[in-house]
Every structure is written in structure tokens, then in C-alpha cells.
């Protein structure tokens, strides 16, 4: 075999391997997607070809499942968590990025460390406290606890974005007599806006997919979508077509958001440790 | 306002939130770990026992050691397999080209699946009667069809590992592609001109350059593997028996099902210890960059 032939062969093998890998990565998603449009007869017969139906989406929103309520809870909890977290994180991130603070490294490491504390440790005291003050099964309680996982993430990520903004414009404005707060509002915030939006989307995804807190803290009124999946476990087994439809409802906004922040994905997930 | 005051004022709200939502519960969990801590017994949350919860876990509870073992094996397997597969995939995708860039976009999509949803979908696919794998094996390897994957302790463990590896490959791959992009091309080409084989170039040039990035992903993945809960809960709920009961699940089970908050807080704190080491290692990488 000549060198050129070998190169062509290797190229073909390459392509095939990539296609196989992509297929494997997408199979569970495709499988759920197909099942969401099957009738409950088709879903139990393993059909690859079937007449698609939308009835599952109607059923999950209807009595007794009422997924709409869970969708509402999830949206409120994730949204409010982000709305509280991002401004607070932005101010802190600016300070960490632009000033030298006493104990700065210790504070930053502590914040980073809280990101890695197992959720199951944090939740035990909160469960006891919420039981005593009546915050169990409320959206407010869930929002409060969600801040624990979103906050460190937001601070580190936004700090990374602000670090990337050159200092000169800020300094020039201050020479012209702007105060620090004016500089933050008029120069830093507009320049950091894309980064803030990216961080907000990341935090929304984390809060939207959060499972353990909602599992322990809610049982009726504040149940979120991921916990709602448990509704479709009937006496006679799992209701796969309904589970899949609910899965699609959980995934759909995440697809869109994940694609929007594609460019920053690695940076965000590793909080800037890898670039 | 002077910058000197302002810089602390700006940090204050965040410090308060982090303290209230993360530091306080950690300290309170430590306190609870020394109490009787029964949810159904009023006053038991202030009734101190000393180290009894810890000695109980260590010397009287085989289920604790079982979950330590399950978590350890799970972590080693998932970290190892995810890293190897992700590295292979990253090498396939790294050099660019149209197919590769669309493949990289596709890799973002599995992130829409939260761990809980991954658990659900794998339980679905491994259903022995109408799961995808049943159909797949029915055609290719008939003896493997109709196997009750999730009813057998070893197979269930394998499926739990598989679900996790599947879920994390895209993220690690994307990180490693980024790492590969920063390996200088001319070093690789120089080695190739010198007649080094593909494997030698990988081992002697690419791998050493990639080492810091690999270390970061291995640390990160270890942290997430140690904590695993959502997908195990949805996929096997720790079963059959306790074959897939990870530490997180064990803590959840004792605390929430049996109401033994004090005991589960002590196990939870034991779990924090390896996290401290891993976080320290991770922080070193973050600050080396800064």
C-alpha cells in the first residue's frame, strides 16, 4: 500500500469511528424522543416504526399528573435563583478581580470548595431547619438552598469574564472623574454583559436540573420537574411513554440554552481551570 | 466612597450568601453528627453522644462499608473509563474539519439530559422486555436478550457505571479537545519528520503537554463520581439489595427514610474529608493559572 492509500484508508476509518461515537452518544436521547410520541401500546412493543401521536403531552399535563404545576415551580425556582445570584456574584467578582483584599485567596478557595461539598451534606441541616420554621415544600425554601450550588459557580465564572476586560477604559473614566460605582455601572456591566448572560444560563441549567434538594424538601406544592418524573411509576411498572414525554419537556429548554453557551462550555464547567 | 471600604462592601453580600447556604450547614451537620439526631424524637437533635455515630459506622454497620466500597469501585471505574474514552474521542475530533465541528456541537446536546434523566433513560433502555438493549441483543447476541440487567447485582452495577460514563464523556471530550488545541503543532510535525510513529508522537509529545489538563479533568470527575446520587436514585435506587448503594444514597436513605439525621450527618462528614483533598488539588491548578 502506498502512503497515499494508507492516508485515505485512515481518513475513512476516522470518519466511521466518529459516526459510531456520535451515534452512541445520541442513542439514549433519540430513544426517549421516539418513545414520547408512541402510544402506550407501541411503547411496550419495541417498535421502530410507528404512527406518532401527541397524546402523551396532553396526558402528562392533565389530572392526575398535572405536570404544568411542576413546570411552573421549576421555572420560578430556577429563574429567581438566577435573579438573586447573578447581581450578588457580579459585585463580588468585580471586587475579587480588581482589588487586593485581605484574605482574598482564602475566600476564593472557600467559595470554590463549597462548590464541591456533596449536596447530601448541606441538605440535612436545612431539612431540620425548614421543618421547624415551615419552609418545607415551599418554592422560597428551594430557592434559598439552590443558591448554595449556584453562587460559587457564578462568582468564579463571572470573575473569569471580568478578568478578561482590559483595565484602560476603566482607568481613563476615573481620571475623568467617574466614581468607582459609576465605572462599574457604565463601563464594566455593559462590557461584561455577554459573560453575565452566559453565567446566568449556566446557573439556570444547574438550578433547573437540581434533583436532591427538591427530592428532600418538597412533596406536594413545590415539586419540580425532575422530581415529577417519579409520578410515572405506577403499580404495574413505569409508564414509559409518559416518562419520555416529561423527559422531553425537561430537556427542550436545556437543548436551546446549552447550544447558546456552546462557546463557553468548557471554560464554564471547569470554572476557568482549563482554557 | 473610598475603594478600600468599597471593595469589602461589594464582596459582603456574596460572603453572607455562601456562609448561610454552605458554611453554616456544614458546621451544623458536624454538630448534628455528634447527637442522637432522630427526626421523630423531639429534643434528640440536642442530645449529645460523642463519637458514637462514627464508631457505629466504622464497627457495627457493614452497610456503611458496603457503600464505601461501592463508591470507591464506582469512582475508579467511572473516572478511568470516562477519561480513556474521552481522550480517544478528543483525538479523533481534535484536528478540525466539518464533520468534526458538527460532532463537537452534537456533544453539547447530552448536557440537556440531567443525571436524573440519564438514570431514567438507562432504566428504560435496559428493560428486559421492551428496552433497546433487549432488541439489540435479540438480533446480535441472542443469549444476552431477556437478561434482567437491573435485577442482577453485578450487571446493575455495570449499567450504573455505563450510564455515568455515557453522561460524562461529552464534557471531558470537550475539555480535552481544548487541551489538545494548545499543544503546539510544530512540535508534533517536527517529531513526525524525525520519523516517529503515531503512537510515539502521542506518548512522547502530546501526552506530556496534555498532562495538566488531564489532571484537572481527572480531579473534577473524581469529585463528581464520589458525590453521585441522582442517576443512581433514578436508575436502581441503590439496588438490587445494596449492590449500587453509593455513599450519597446511603446518607439519603438513613437520614430521610429512617430519620437518623445524626447518624447520616456523621457519614456525610466522613465523605467531606476526601473532598477536601481533591478540592485542594484542584485549587492548586486554578491558582497556578491566575
CA dihedral for B199, B202, B207, B213, sign (positive or negative) = negative
Distance from the Cα of B117 to chain A's closest Cα (Å) equals: 7
Query: Three-state SS for B106?
Result: helix
Q: For the residues A254-272, what does the mean pLDDT come to?
A: 83
Q: Measuring CA to CA, how many Å separate B290 from each of A155, A271, B218, B282? A: 15, 12, 20, 13
User: Would an 8 Å CB–CB cutoff place B3 in contact with chain A?
Assistant: yes
What pLDDT was estimated at residue A1?
Answer: 64
User: Would an 8 Å CB–CB cutoff place A39 in contact with chain B?
Assistant: no
For A72-105, give one letter per residue: b (16+ CB within 10 A) or e.
ebbebbbebbbebbbebbbbbbbbbbbbebeeee
Distance from the Cα of B203 to chain A's closest Cα (Å) equals: 20
Identify the closest residue of chain B to A215 by CA–CA distance: B230
> Using one digit for the tens of pLDDT, what is the confidence trace for A168-187?
888 898 888 888 899 999 99
Q: For the residues A142-159, what does the mean pLDDT come to?
A: 95
Cell 475623568 belongs to: A176
User: How buried is residue B90: exposed, middle or buried, by Cβ count under 10 Å (0-12/13-18/19+)?
Assistant: buried
Count of beta carbons in the 10 Å neighbourhood of residue B88 = 15
Cell 416504526 belongs to: A49
User: Would an 8 Å CB–CB cutoff place B84 in contact with chain A?
Assistant: no
Cell triple for B4: 478600600
User: Would an 8 Å CB–CB cutoff place B175 in contact with chain A?
Assistant: yes
**Which residues of chain A make contact with B113, given a CB cutoff of 8 A?**
28-29, 251, 254
Q: For the residues A177-201, what does the mean pLDDT come to?
A: 92
φ, ψ dihedrals at A82, nearest 5°: -65, -40
> Using one digit for the tens of pLDDT, what is the confidence trace for A18-47?
999 999 999 899 989 999 999 888 887 766
User: How buried is residue A4: exposed, middle or buried, by Cβ count under 10 Å (0-12/13-18/19+)?
Assistant: exposed
Which of the residue ranges A74-83, A183-192, B35-44, B194-203 has the most confident prediction, judged by mean pLDDT?
Answer: A74-83
Could B282 and A26 be called an inter-chain contact, meaning their C-beta atoms sit closer than 8 Å? no
- Give how far the C-alpha of residue A265 lies from the chain's centroid of Cα atoms, to the nearest Å: 11
Query: Helices A3-35 & A240-260, crossing angle to 10 degrees?
Result: 130
Predicted confidence (pLDDT) at residue B190 exceeds the cutoff of 70? yes
For residue A79, what pLDDT band results from cuts at 50, 70 and 90?
A: very high
For residue B186, what pLDDT band results from cuts at 50, 70 and 90?
A: confident
> Using one digit for the tens of pLDDT, what is the confidence trace for B62-72?
999 999 999 99
What pLDDT was estimated at residue A275?
Answer: 59
Both ends of chain A: CA-CA distance in Å? Answer: 40
**Which residues of chain A make contact with B134, given a CB cutoff of 8 A?**
46
Provide ipTM, 2 decimals: 0.92
More confident residue, B91 or B142: B91
What pLDDT was estimated at residue B143?
Answer: 77
Query: What percent of chain B shows pLDDT beyond 90?
Result: 65
Predicted confidence (pLDDT) at residue B1 exceeds the cutoff of 70? no
> Using one digit for the tens of pLDDT, what is the confidence trace for B51-63?
999 999 999 999 9
User: Would an 8 Å CB–CB cutoff place A185 in contact with chain B?
Assistant: no
Could A144 and B229 be called an inter-chain contact, meaning their C-beta atoms sit closer than 8 Å? no
Count of beta carbons in the 10 Å neighbourhood of residue A259 = 14
User: Would an 8 Å CB–CB cutoff place B216 in contact with chain A?
Assistant: yes
> Using one digit for the tens of pLDDT, what is the confidence trace for B117-161?
999 999 988 887 777 887 777 778 777 777 888 999 999 999 999
- Name the DSSP letter for residue A238: E
Could A247 and B26 be called an inter-chain contact, meaning their C-beta atoms sit closer than 8 Å? no
Cα–Cα distance between A172 and B287 in angstroms, integer? 29
Q: For the residues B235-243, what does the mean pLDDT come to?
A: 93
Cell triple for B171: 464534557
Q: For the residues B4-14, what does the mean pLDDT come to?
A: 94
What pLDDT was estimated at residue B140?
Answer: 80
Cell triple for A82: 438566577
User: Would an 8 Å CB–CB cutoff place A247 in contact with chain B?
Assistant: yes
**Which residues of chain A make contact with B120, given a CB cutoff of 8 A?**
32, 229, 243, 247
Distance from the Cα of A257 to chain B's closest Cα (Å) equals: 9
Predicted confidence (pLDDT) at residue A273 exceeds the cutoff of 90? no
* Dihedral of the alpha carbons of A173, A176, A181, A187, in degrees to the nearest 10: -20
Mean pLDDT (chain A) is: 91
Predicted confidence (pLDDT) at residue B217 exceeds the cutoff of 80? yes
Q: Measuring CA to CA, how many Å separate B15 from each of A155, A159, B9, B19? A: 11, 15, 10, 6
Q: For the residues A110-115, what does the mean pLDDT come to?
A: 91
Predicted confidence (pLDDT) at residue B290 exceeds the cutoff of 70? no
Q: Choosing among B26, B44, B101, B112, which should be mutated to test the A contact, i.e. which has the most A CBs within 10 A?
A: B112
Of residues A31, A126, A275, nearest to B121 (C-beta): A31
User: Would an 8 Å CB–CB cutoff place A75 in contact with chain B?
Assistant: no
**Which residues of chain A make contact with B272, given a CB cutoff of 8 A?**
117-118, 121
Cα–Cα distance between A104 and B283 in angstroms, integer? 13
Cell triple for B16: 453572607
Could B252 and A91 be called an inter-chain contact, meaning their C-beta atoms sit closer than 8 Å? no
Cα–Cα distance between B174 and B107 in angstroms, integer? 8
**Which residues of chain B make contact with A30, given a CB cutoff of 8 A?**
none
pTM across the whole model: 0.93
Q: For the residues B254-276, what does the mean pLDDT come to?
A: 94
Contact of A268 with A195, CB cutoff 8 Å: no
More confident residue, A232 or A96: A96
What does the angle CA B36 – CA B37 – CA B40 come to, to the nearest 5 degrees? 115
Q: Measuring CA to CA, how many Å separate B104 from each of A102, A267, B5, B83, B89? A: 42, 15, 46, 17, 10
Cα–Cα distance between A266 and A91 in angstroms, integer? 24
Q: Choosing among B16, B20, B124, which should be mutated to test the A contact, i.e. which has the most A CBs within 10 A?
A: B124
Distance from the Cα of A63 to chain B's closest Cα (Å) equals: 22
Amino acid at each position: 500500500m502506498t502512503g497515499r492509500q494508507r492516508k485515505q484508508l485512515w481518513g475513512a476509518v476516522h470518519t466511521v469511528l466518529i459516526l459510531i461515537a456520535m451515534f452512541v452518544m445520541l442513542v439514549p436521547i433519540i430513544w426517549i424522543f421516539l418513545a414520547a410520541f408512541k402510544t402506550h401500546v407501541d411503547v411496550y412493543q419495541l417498535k421502530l416504526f410507528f404512527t406518532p401521536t401527541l397524546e402523551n403531552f396532553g396526558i402528562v399535563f392533565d389530572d392526575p399528573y398535572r405536570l404544568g404545576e411542576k413546570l411552573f415551580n421549576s421555572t420560578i425556582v430556577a429563574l429567581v435563583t438566577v435573579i438573586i445570584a447573578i447581581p450578588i456574584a457580579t459585585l463580588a467578582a468585580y471586587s475579587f478581580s480588581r482589588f487586593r483584599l485581605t484574605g482574598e485567596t482564602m475566600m476564593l478557595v472557600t467559595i470554590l470548595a463549597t462548590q464541591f461539598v456533596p449536596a447530601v451534606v448541606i441538605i440535612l441541616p436545612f431539612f431540620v431547619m425548614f421543618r421547624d420554621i415551615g419552609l418545607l415544600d415551599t418554592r422560597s425554601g428551594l430557592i434559598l438552598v439552590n443558591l448554595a450550588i449556584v453562587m460559587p459557580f457564578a462568582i468564579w465564572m463571572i470573575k473569569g469574564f471580568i478578568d478578561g476586560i482590559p483595565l484602560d477604559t476603566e482607568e481613563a473614566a476615573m481620571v475623568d472623574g467617574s466614581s468607582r460605582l459609576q465605572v462599574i455601572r457604565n463601563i464594566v456591566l455593559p462590557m461584561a454583559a455577554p459573560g453575565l448572560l452566559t453565567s446566568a444560563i449556566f446557573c439556570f441549567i444547574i438550578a433547573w436540573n437540581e434533583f436532591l434538594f427538591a427530592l428532600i424538601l418538597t412533596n406536594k406544592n413545590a415539586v419540580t420537574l425532575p422530581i415529577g418524573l417519579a409520578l410515572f411509576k405506577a403499580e404495574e411498572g413505569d409508564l414509559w411513554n409518559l416518562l419520555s414525554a416529561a423527559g422531553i419537556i425537561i430537556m427542550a429548554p436545556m437543548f436551546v440554552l446549552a447550544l447558546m453557551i456552546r462557546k463557553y462550555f468548557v471554560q464554564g464547567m471547569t470554572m476557568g481551570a482549563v482554557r | 466612597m473610598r475603594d478600600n471600604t468599597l471593595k469589602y462592601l461589594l464582596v459582603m453580600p456574596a460572603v453572607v450568601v455562601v456562609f448561610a447556604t454552605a458554611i453554616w450547614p456544614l458546621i451544623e451537620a458536624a454538630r448534628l453528627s455528634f447527637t442522637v439526631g432522630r427526626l421523630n424524637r423531639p429534643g434528640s437533635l440536642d442530645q449529645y453522644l460523642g463519637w458514637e455515630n462514627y464508631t457505629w459506622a466504622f464497627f457495627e454497620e457493614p452497610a456503611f462499608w458496603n457503600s464505601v466500597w461501592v463508591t470507591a469501585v464506582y469512582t475508579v471505574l467511572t473516572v478511568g473509563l470516562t477519561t480513556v474514552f474521552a481522550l480517544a474521542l478528543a483525538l479523533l475530533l481534535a484536528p478540525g474539519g466539518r464533520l468534526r465541528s458538527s460532532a463537537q456541537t452534537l456533544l453539547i446536546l447530552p448536557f440537556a439530559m440531567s443525571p436524573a434523566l440519564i438514570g431514567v433513560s438507562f432504566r428504560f433502555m435496559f428493560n428486559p422486555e421492551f428496552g433497546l438493549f433487549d432488541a439489540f441483543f435479540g438480533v446480535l447476541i441472542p443469549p444476552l436478550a431477556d437478561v434482567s440487567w437491573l435485577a442482577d447485582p453485578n450487571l446493575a452495577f455495570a449499567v450504573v457505571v455505563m450510564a455515568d460514563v455515557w453522561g460524562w464523556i461529552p464534557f471531558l471530550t470537550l475539555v480535552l479537545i481544548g487541551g489538545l488545541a494548545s499543544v503546539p503543532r510544530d512540535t508534533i510535525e517536527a517529531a513526525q519528520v524525525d520519523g516517529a510513529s503515531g503512537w510515539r508522537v502521542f506518548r512522547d509529545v502530546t501526552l506530556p503537554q496534555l498532562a495538566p489538563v488531564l489532571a484537572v479533568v481527572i480531579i473534577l470527575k473524581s469529585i463528581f463520581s464520589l458525590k453521585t446520587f441522582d442517576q443512581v436514585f433514578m436508575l436502581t435506587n441503590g439496588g438490587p439489595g445494596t449492590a449500587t448503594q453509593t455513599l450519597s444514597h446511603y446518607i439519603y436513605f438513613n437520614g430521610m427514610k429512617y430519620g437518623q439525621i445524626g447518624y447520616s450527618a456523621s457519614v456525610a462528614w466522613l465523605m467531606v474529608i476526601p473532598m477536601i483533598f481533591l478540592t485542594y488539588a484542584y485549587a492548586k491548578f486554578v491558582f497556578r493559572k491566575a
